[in-house]
């Protein structure tokens, strides 16, 4: 009998699957609803029968049984809308960090049969719409990427009671579990490395200081310098973009022309800083050694290739997905957080 012979003209039912698999309808129902009590061999037979019959579960009926939608929201929250509203969308889809987060989430969500809906929030109206959507039960939980200290969304999301995890440094007083890299430890590694190269006039290009990650990296930078007995800390603030790094580097060189070491709070900004250094005729690392942060694709695109601090973004996002699924399947479990250890990746810039 061919597979086509097994396909009924009408939509396949649980009974059809049960007949082909040679099991009870109740067993098929347990497999379809992802119950853990089914013998693996029987589960495989039912899955083969589902494929053979073309059975498609009734998601609405299944949700009534499982009380789940098998979908989660990935919420990207920006500070209040800027001059050009579309620029937020553009930044999200061109930011290499965002792509790495999505990849890590899908690594865990796909095998679990969980879909992901992208939600972008950048003003009060979109925040209100998001909260309404979440409260109506359209998703089982949310992963939140929130980068600004004043963002009210982490607290508002925690008040909904919906399972949720923050991917990144938590802002404010929200009690949501989070997954983060040890920012200060990473910055300390960068400074220690520059000092090991006998650099003493070390400056930094920071990220925007309304962002928790940027604040942590700057605090770590000053503390690491102090640990080495260095009190002078030339600083210029950037915006986590290549253009912002180039401009911040111009300001630093104008005010502190004798720098021999530089820590940049992101690889993209470091890429811009290297372009400015090249235009000024400064050799890297001979005249000034440069260390970035992230270990993104931008680090390899730099000339010379960038020594940087690696934060394991994909692994961190996968852990965020696991934490979220754990909350969804066992709501009584207390929320937990996870902090990852960064590593120094040595290349040619320092």
- Per-residue pLDDT, 36: 64
Residue 275: how many other CB atoms lie within 10 Å: 17
- Per-residue pLDDT, 83: 44
Question: Which residues of the chain fall below pLDDT 70?
Answer: 1-10, 34, 36, 57-68, 79-94, 171-174, 331-335
Q: For residue 299, give Cα distances in angstroms to 80, 85, 177, 252, 272.
A: 30, 29, 30, 21, 11
Could you report the per-residue pLDDT of 174-210, keeping only the tens digit for each? 678 999 999 999 999 999 999 999 999 999 999 998 8
Among 312, 309, 329, smallest CA distance to 264 is for 309
For residue 184, what are its two tokens? 């200060």
3-state secondary structure of 213: helix
For residue 153, what are its two tokens? 């969304």
Q: Considering the chain, what is the average pLDDT of its residues?
A: 86
DSSP codes of every residue in 170-206:
--TT----EEEE-HHHHHHHHHHHHHHTT--SEEEEE
Could you report the per-residue pLDDT of 224-274, keeping only the tens digit for each? 999 999 998 999 999 898 999 999 999 999 999 999 999 999 999 999 999
Which residue reads 């030339």 in tokens? 234
Cα(282)–Cα(8) distance, rounded to whole angstroms?
Answer: 74
Cα(240)–Cα(328) distance, rounded to whole angstroms?
Answer: 34
Cα(68)–Cα(342) distance, rounded to whole angstroms?
Answer: 36
Query: Could you tell me how many residues make up the chain?
Result: 350
What pTM was estimated for this model as a whole? 0.77
> In this structure, are strands 307-310 and 289-294 parallel, antiparallel, or unpaired?
parallel
Cα(160)–Cα(158) distance, rounded to whole angstroms?
Answer: 5
Cα(236)–Cα(245) distance, rounded to whole angstroms?
Answer: 9
Taking a C-beta distance cutoff of 8 angstroms, is the pair 344, 193 a contact? yes
- Per-residue pLDDT, 17: 86
Residue 167 gets the label, from left (phi > 0), alpha (psi -120 to 50) or beta, of beta
């Amino acid at each position: 009998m061919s597979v086509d012979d097994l396909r009924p003209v009408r939509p396949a039912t649980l009974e059809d699957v049960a007949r082909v698999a040679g099991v009870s309808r109740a067993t098929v129902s347990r497999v379809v609803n992802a119950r853990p009590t089914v013998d693996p061999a029987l589960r495989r037979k039912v899955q083969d029968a589902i494929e053979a019959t073309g059975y498609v579960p009734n998601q609405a009926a299944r949700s009534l049984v499982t009380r789940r939608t098998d979908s989660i929201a990935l919420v990207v929250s920006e500070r209040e809308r800027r001059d050009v509203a579309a620029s937020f969308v553009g930044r999200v889809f061109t930011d290499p960090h965002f792509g790495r987060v999505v990849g890590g989430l899908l690594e865990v969500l796909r095998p679990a049969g969980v879909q992901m809906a992208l939600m972008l929030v950048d003003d009060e109206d979109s925040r209100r719409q998001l909260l309404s959507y979440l409260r109506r039960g359209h998703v089982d939980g949310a992963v939140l990427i929130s980068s600004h200290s004043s963002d009210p969304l982490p607290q508002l999301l925690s008040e909904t009671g919906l399972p949720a995890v923050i991917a990144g440094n938590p802002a404010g007083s929200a009690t949501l579990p989070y997954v983060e890299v040890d920012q200060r430890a990473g910055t300390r590694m960068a400074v220690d490395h520059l000092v090991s190269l006998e650099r003493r006039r070390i400056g930094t290009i920071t990220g925007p200081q309304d962002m928790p990650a940027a604040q942590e990296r700057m605090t770590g930078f000053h503390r690491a310098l102090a640990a080495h007995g260095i009190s002078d800390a030339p600083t210029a603030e950037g915006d986590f973009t290549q253009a912002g790094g180039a401009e911040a580097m111009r300001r630093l060189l104008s005010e502190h022309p004798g720098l021999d070491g530089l820590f940049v709070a992101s690889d993209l900004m470091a890429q811009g800083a290297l372009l400015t250094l090249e235009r000024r005729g400064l050799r890297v690392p001979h005249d000034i050694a440069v260390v970035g942060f992230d270990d993104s694709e931008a680090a390899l695109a730099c000339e010379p290739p960038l020594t940087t601090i690696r934060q394991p973004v994909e692994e961190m996002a996968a852990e965020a997905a696991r934490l979220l699924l754990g909350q969804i399947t066992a709501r009584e479990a207390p929320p937990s957080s996870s902090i990852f250890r960064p590593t120094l990746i040595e290349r040619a810039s320092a």
